[in-house]
Structure 1
Amino acid sequence: MTTQGDCPSLLVVVSELDPLHASETDKEGPVLSLCLSNLLVFINTYLMFNHENRLAFIATTPSECSFLYPLNVNKPDSSGSTEDDLMPGKCGQYELFEDINSTITRGLKAVARRMNSGVTTRPLLAGALAKSLCYIHKHTTDKDNRLLPRILVMKSSPDSPSQYMPTMNCIFAAQKNSIPIDACLIDSDSGFLQQACDLTGGTYIRLPETKALLQYLLWVFLPDHSSRQMLTLPPLGHVDYRAACFCHRKLVEIGYVCSVCLSIFCQFNPICSTCNTRFPVPGLAGSKAKRKKTTQ
């Protein structure tokens, strides 16, 4: 069995900052103000498992998705260094930890300052997942590359039904490419991430309390997925597989599905708004047939 100590890993951490969950005195939100130190300890421990392990960190808000680490992805920074110069093999271990901790901390605070407290939308989860998949694809397409990719999502806000389709597209892309998606929920549950973890073989955890974050990060999310088979982890439980309708973007248990493009609607529409397919109105076709039979 291949374990984390045998093969290097590429971990992409997605952390959301939601102004709707931040108070007036705590604009930086729960992830930054309460959980950042624990998250940095987890990241440092992950990098100590293997000196070839790689890390990327993405922060997402309702208005942006930003790479906080490595800095200037695909471009050299002002000092002339690229993202590959910031990997464990390029500098000392302690220097790497200090660089990562300070870079992520400064980046999160800068993103928090740019947030608009008056917004009513949710963080761009789909955009962050898409960026994660692109970054993983770039660094794992080489045939000689032994990196085992995975994504860890830190989330504290409810799902946004308007992001259902792009989020599911990212989940199916991760499933097809065998990229596990793990989810650590700090406040409310997420049906989207429940489906993501179930479909990709990841682990879904909703914290019983914020103070237990570091314990769950080290216990559940630090081991790689082959090592987790030897651990007794909390079960996923019930998975919310409700879909969001295309007309009102609300979650539905029973709805109407277009037989051509498989679009979902919460109420009957004679014309599919996605592919413009026309459907007979329920009851109207039966009344025409009955009227024709009566005429004969």
Structure 2
Amino acid sequence: MVMGNSHMAMNRTNKLAVIASHCQDSQFLYPSKSWRGGDGGEDASSSGDGKYELLSVANNLIAEEMRNIMSKTEVRGNSTDTLLAGSLAKALCYIHRVSKDMEVGREIKSRILVIKAAEDCALQYMNFMNVIFAAQKQNILIDACVLDSESGLLQQACDITGGLYLKIPKKIALAQYLLWVFLPDSDQRSQLLLPPPVHVDYRAACFCHRNLIEIGYVCSVCLSIFCNFSPICTTCETVFKIPLPHMVKAKKKKLKTST
């Protein structure tokens, strides 16, 4: 909330969207379905403490939606995978809709910040990479603030789109890192002393087992990646011609003529 409030307070034309991603679904926290362009109900007019009304509405809606998600979500097992690719796709769709509603001649500079505490899921590799390249085509930066283990997928996303990747060393300082590293836009970042870029893990996930691999086999037709060789591509069903070793013909022995 501190990050969102600071972003909207930087400029009155700034817009904010917050999406929650968990193991079963991804949904908007703000703006939510119950909020329509400033219709925040009784909270919209509650400015007795001198707070900017829009910030008060956003904080209340985000907190309410978070409580609803936590009460409806069923935790199964110890898996921490989230539907991150779906959340990023929703963010791109929202940005596209906002840009379409802009006046003619006005442009919007959009960026996506991912605050991640879950582990990577190789099953989402294809969808994730499609979202990354879609963001790159639309000139949308993807930043990543990682709280737990390193994320190779987000490293690739930040490197491809020109965003920042940071695994914070201390979770207690999360708000400080958000305001220092991720709040400034791309133009302001060039004037700041930011953490050095990390080494990007560009391993790809195989299509057969969804495991991250360093060396594999690539289909020359559909570019699918496999960890083991197969004479038939399971994606496009292309049959590969396997070169057979040349058979060396045995030399015929010359018959010795008797004299």
When the two structures are superposed, what TM-score results if normalisation uses the length of structure 1?
A: 0.77
1:181 match: secondary structure: strand
Q: CA contact under 8 A between 2:99 and 2:108: conserved in structure 1? A: yes
Q: CA contact under 8 A between 1:181 and 1:201: conserved in structure 2? A: yes
Match of 1:23 in 2: none
Match of 1:34 in 2: none
The alpha-carbon distance between structure 1 residues 286 and 113, as it changes in their structure 2 partners (threshold 3 A), is same
The alpha-carbon distance between structure 1 residues 127 and 295, as it changes in their structure 2 partners (threshold 3 A), is farther
* Residue 215 (structure 2) pairs with residue 258 (structure 1): no
Q: CA contact under 8 A between 1:150 and 1:179: conserved in structure 2? A: yes
Greater alpha carbon shift after TM alignment, 102-111 vs 211-220 = 102-111
Q: In the alignment, which of 184, 192, 204 is matched to residue 243 of structure 1?
A: 204
Distance in 1 between the 2:5 and 2:80 partners? 32
1:27-59 per-residue CA deviation (whole Å, 9 max, x = no partner) reads xxxxxxxxxxxxx11211111110111000100
Q: In the alignment, which of 107, 110, 116 is matched to residue 65 of structure 2?
A: 107
Match of 2:36 in 1: 82
Instruction: Output the amino acid matched with 1:50.
Output: N
Q: In the alignment, which of 222, 237, 241 is matched to residue 276 of structure 1?
A: 237
* Residue 53 (structure 2) pairs with residue 95 (structure 1): yes
Distance in 1 between the 2:64 and 2:140 partners? 29
Pick the structure with greater CA Rg: 2
Q: How far is 1:290 from its partner?
A: 1.6
Q: CA contact under 8 A between 1:161 and 1:249: conserved in structure 2? A: yes
1:67 match: secondary structure: strand
Q: In the alignment, which of 230, 234, 237 is matched to residue 191 of structure 2?
A: 230
Indicate the structure whose relative CO is greater, using CA pairs within 8 Å and at least 6 residues apart. Answer: 1
2:186 match: secondary structure: coil
Match of 1:178 in 2: 139
Q: In the alignment, which of 68, 84, 90 is matched to residue 125 of structure 1?
A: 84
Q: How far is 1:121 from its partner?
A: 6.2
Instruction: Output the amino acid matched with 2:86.
Output: G
Q: CA contact under 8 A between 1:71 and 1:83: conserved in structure 2? A: no
Question: Normalized per residue, which structure has more helix?
Answer: 1
Instruction: Output the amino acid matched with 2:149.
Output: S
Greater alpha carbon shift after TM alignment, 248-257 vs 144-153 = 144-153
1:138 match: secondary structure: helix
2:244 match: secondary structure: helix
Q: CA contact under 8 A between 1:42 and 1:214: conserved in structure 2? A: yes
Work out the percentage of aligned pairs sharing the same amino acid.
50
Distance in 1 between the 2:95 and 2:167 partners? 25
Equivalent residues in 2 for 1:4-83, closer than 5 Å = 40-72=1-33, 77=34, 82-83=36-37
Distance in 1 between the 2:87 and 2:251 partners? 62
Q: CA contact under 8 A between 2:26 and 2:87: conserved in structure 1? A: yes
Q: CA contact under 8 A between 2:22 and 2:81: conserved in structure 1? A: yes
Query: Number of paired residues?
Result: 242
Cα RMSD of the aligned pairs, angstroms, is: 2.1
Match of 2:255 in 1: none
Distance in 1 between the 2:39 and 2:61 partners? 14
Q: How far is 1:163 from its partner?
A: 0.3
Match of 2:152 in 1: 191
Q: CA contact under 8 A between 2:165 and 2:198: conserved in structure 1? A: no
Match of 2:97 in 1: 138
Distance in 1 between the 2:36 and 2:85 partners? 27
Match of 1:218 in 2: 179
1:74-113 per-residue CA deviation (whole Å, 9 max, x = no partner) reads xxx4xxx624656xxx988621111111111111121122
